[in-house]
Amino acid sequence: MRALMLGSGFFPPTRKLVPTGVNVEEPEWVTLDNNKECSPDVLFDLNKCESGIRLPFPDNTFDEIHAYQVLEHFGRQGKAAGFFSTFRMLWLALKPDGLLCGDTPALNSPWLFGDPGHTRVISEQSISFLTRRAYEELGKTTSTDYRKLVDPHWWLILHASTQGPLPDGGFGETGRFAFVLKKTQ
């Protein structure tokens, strides 16, 4: 099993999220970062994905992609086409039924825009637009129709949870939005 760690940083890659029923064996890791000082296996700027530039791997390469505290650092809030392009590039790198596991600051976290490098909010609401289910109520709600931007690169949400901030306002295991998406056809 192969897994890609996005924004690998200086820490050794490890799974923080593993859905129930998924093979828990430690994967063969490939690290990707835009900071050469982190010594990643692959040096790549994820901002390129927003413009439709693919990750530097063949399609269907990875069983899992992990992105912990990284997706909020690239792209631009309000650029819908870039949001969907980014998730399309991740979808393409995954094998069928592959998983995208990650977390970002929660909507109520002081770090959501407290970090000067955060440029986009990833939330349960935003990832819902990557699923077919989000478009079942079109015409009955005021929801925006982004099907042309996501089809045929659909996801299924296996896990999505938000934990509140720490009582002292700090950010740790709480104050984050954690998710697991599954690549679907």
The total domain count for the chain is: 1
Give the pLDDT of residue 174: 59
Rounded-to-integer distance, Cα 116 and Cα 118, Å: 6
Q: Is the peptide bond before 27 cis (omega within 30 degrees of 0)?
A: no
In 3-state terms the chain splits into helix, strand, coil percentages (rounded to 5) of 20, 25, 55
Query: Band of the pLDDT at 68, cuts 50, 70, 90?
Result: very high
Q: What is the pLDDT of residues 108-135, one digit of tens each?
A: 888 898 999 999 999 999 999 999 999 9
- Give phi and psi for 98, each to the nearest 5: -65, 160
Give the predicted TM-score (pTM) of the model.
Answer: 0.91
Report yes or no: 49 and 81 within 8 Å, Cβ to Cβ. no
Give the pLDDT of residue 110: 87
Q: In what order do the strands lie in the sheet with 62-68?
A: 42-43, 28-33, 2-6, 62-68, 94-105, 176-183, 155-162
> Residue 55's domain is classified under what CATH number?
3.40.50.150
Report yes or no: 66 and 3 within 8 Å, Cβ to Cβ. yes
Rounded-to-integer distance, Cα 70 and Cα 5, Å: 10
Query: For residue 72, what are the domain limits?
Result: 2-183
